[in-house]
Amino acid sequence: MIPSRVVDLGLKALGRFGGATMFEIIEKRKLGISFVRAIGYHSVSNSGLPGFRRQLAWLAMGYTCMDETDFSLYLEGKIRLSKPGLIISFDDGLADNYRNAVPALEGAGLKGWFFVPSGLVGLSDSDARVFCAAGALGLPLSADGRLVMNWKELRELKARGHVIGCHTRSHMRLRSGIGTERLGVEIRGSRKYLESGLDAEVRSFAWVGGESDTYSPEAFMEISDAGFTNAFTTLSAPFLPGDDPLVIHRTILDPDLDFGVFRMKMLGLSDIAHRKVRLRAFQTIDN
């Protein structure tokens, strides 16, 4: 696989010399407007806000933002899109999502899907650092305040029309060999814990990690059996009518991305970069 730094440098050069426009034309001709693009962020720091707002303004012009209800209606064929659909998600339950991402989203008329490791909710900063070290969860290098969201904030986001989803219990990569009991804790148990804290149903799940071996057949079955209706990877591909909502591939972005790189990723180059891993991961599940 080509190193990500080399890919980003190439994308930046293409974006500055009109590459994004070229790929936009190709993408529209290939997919039309009936697809949904799911994207994922992690931290949105104070310093990243200007870039994040610029990205959201571009997204708001070119896509139809969806919440869980909208996406369900799309799956049922009950709504027709005038622009491609868009799911904007955030992993890890970081407090800067509440402080920074949510006001920016709402200012642009958009909704977010927030995937939370249930064991992290409401921890003190010192306990959160221990939790994150154990779960290989990267924290912002320079926190602008409290590190993780609490139950009050999550319930408020839910009440304001945003989506709260499950990101395992302990931010665990769900590789084969974990065992049935632990899978139950990380998936089914995590869902129940979130539902208890939110006093609301949790229907969506996001896998941890992007390596092909983190998507195990055992975990896929547990996610399905636990009653989730949507499940998200980080393996970047458009979601088309007829696709399985338990296999939604997200394009992972960052507020600090060069804007040309951001556009190229949105227009399909991340799909190409992840193709081999995507096929390898889900060939294993299918078998």
The SS3 assignment for 257 reads coil
Residue 87 placed within a domain: no
- CATH number, domain of 257, equals 3.20.20.370
Q: Are 86 and 59 in contact (CB under 8 A)?
A: yes
Domain of residue 246: give its range. 4-76+95-135+147-286
Structural domain count of the chain? 1
* pLDDT tens, residue order, the chain (287 aa): 445 554 555 555 444 444 444 445 455 555 666 899 999 999 999 999 999 999 999 999 999 999 999 999 999 999 889 999 999 999 999 999 999 999 999 999 999 999 999 999 999 999 999 999 888 888 776 566 789 999 999 999 999 999 999 999 999 999 999 999 999 999 999 999 999 999 999 999 999 998 989 999 999 999 999 999 999 999 999 999 999 999 999 999 999 999 999 999 999 989 999 999 998 888 756 55
- Classify 121 in phi/psi space as left (phi over 0), alpha (psi -120 to 50) or beta: beta
Residue 241 belongs to some domain of the structure: yes
pTM above 0.85, yes or no: yes
- Residue 88 covered by a domain: no
In a domain, 54, yes or no: yes
Within a domain: 185: yes
On whether residue 131 sits in a domain, the answer given is yes
Question: Are 95 and 171 in contact, with CB atoms under 8 Å apart?
Answer: no
Label residue 243 exposed, middle or buried (CB < 10 Å: 0-12, 13-18, 19+): middle
